[in-house]
């Protein structure tokens, strides 16, 4: 019965998302990955007036058999620079996806909550400590880094030639582009420190 409930609920939620206002505004999107309705792909637009504006972020959604009594497992597939999202794995730290889940929540509310999370980070309850530290300590650098990531991975509009040049320097040393970007971001775009941490 539980399986049936999970599937029948996901089907309904799918329709709910498809009919929602947000889909008209292109701010959230959802699509099926397999026929069993247990795996879906979500997409949220970066909220306006945030470093994520203009980007599209893809999410992996796995629905457990015990849904809706347990939350869906959600993570970011698109790489993102955010204190509550792992820049490495895309894992999300959001209470409603863990112990604060409620059975009345839906895929739509989850996606909207994630959008809200992008707009209001919680650096005191971080998933990625490095990002959280930068957020608290060097906010301007954080905004730049997040915009740069949004531009590169999510199609955002802000280009940072300075960052690209630094990444190119590391690439020339035989470093993978993403690894180079991750290290530079972590080291606050200090090329020397980045090189040091790469080759030490």
Does residue 104 interact with other proteins by CB under 8 A? Answer: yes
Does residue 68 interact with other proteins by CB under 8 A? Answer: yes
Report d(CA 195, CA 175) in Å as an integer.
Answer: 10
- Mark whether 26 is an active-site residue: no
CB nearer to other proteins: give 20 or 188: 20
Q: What is the CA radius of gyration of the chain?
A: 18
Does residue 100 interact with other proteins by CB under 8 A? Answer: yes
Does residue 103 interact with other proteins by CB under 8 A? Answer: yes
Does residue 169 interact with other proteins by CB under 8 A? Answer: no
Of the residues 25, 49, 102, 200, which one makes contact with other proteins according to CB under 8 A: 102
Q: 50 phi and psi, to 5 degrees?
A: -130, 165
Report d(CA 61, CA 101) in Å as an integer.
Answer: 15
> Which of these ranges, 24-32, 41-49, 97-105, 168-176, lies near other proteins under the rule CB under 8 A?
97-105
Residue tagged active-site, from 6, 17, 61, 93: 93
Residues making up the chain, counted from first to last: 200
Cβ count within 10 A of residue 172: 9
DSSP 143: H
Of the residues 35, 99, 172, 192, which one makes contact with other proteins according to CB under 8 A: 99
Does residue 9 interact with other proteins by CB under 8 A? Answer: yes
> Left, alpha or beta for 189 (phi > 0: left; psi -120 to 50: alpha)?
left
Does residue 70 interact with other proteins by CB under 8 A? Answer: yes
Q: Minimal CA–CA distance to 75: which of 129, 103, 88?
A: 88
Which residues are identified as catalytic? 93
Q: Which residues bind other proteins (CB under 8 A)?
A: 5, 8-9, 12-13, 68-70, 99-105
């Amino acid at each position: 019965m539980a399986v049936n409930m999970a599937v029948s609920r996901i089907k309904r939620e799918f329709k709910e998302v498809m009919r929602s206002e947000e889909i008209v505004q292109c701010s959230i999107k959802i699509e099926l990955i397999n026929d069993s309705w247990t795996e879906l792909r979500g997409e949220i637009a970066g909220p306006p007036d945030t470093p994520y504006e203009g980007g599209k972020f893809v999410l992996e959604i796995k629905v457990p058999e015990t849904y809706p009594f347990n939350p869906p497992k959600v993570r970011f597939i698109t790489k993102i620079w955010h204190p509550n999202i792992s820049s490495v794995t895309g894992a999300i730290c959001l209470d409603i996806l863990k112990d604060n889940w409620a059975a009345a929540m839906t895929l739509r509310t989850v996606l909207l909550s994630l959008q809200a999370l992008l707009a209001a980070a919680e650096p005191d309850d971080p998933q990625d400590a490095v990002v959280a530290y930068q957020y608290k300590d060097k906010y301007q650098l954080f905004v730049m880094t997040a915009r740069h990531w949004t531009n590169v991975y999510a199609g955002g509009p802000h280009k940072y030639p300075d960052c690209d040049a630094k990444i190119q320097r590391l690439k020339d040393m035989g470093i993978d582009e993403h690894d180079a970007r991750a290290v530079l971001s972590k080291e606050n775009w200090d090329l020397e420190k980045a090189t040091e941490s790469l080759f030490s």
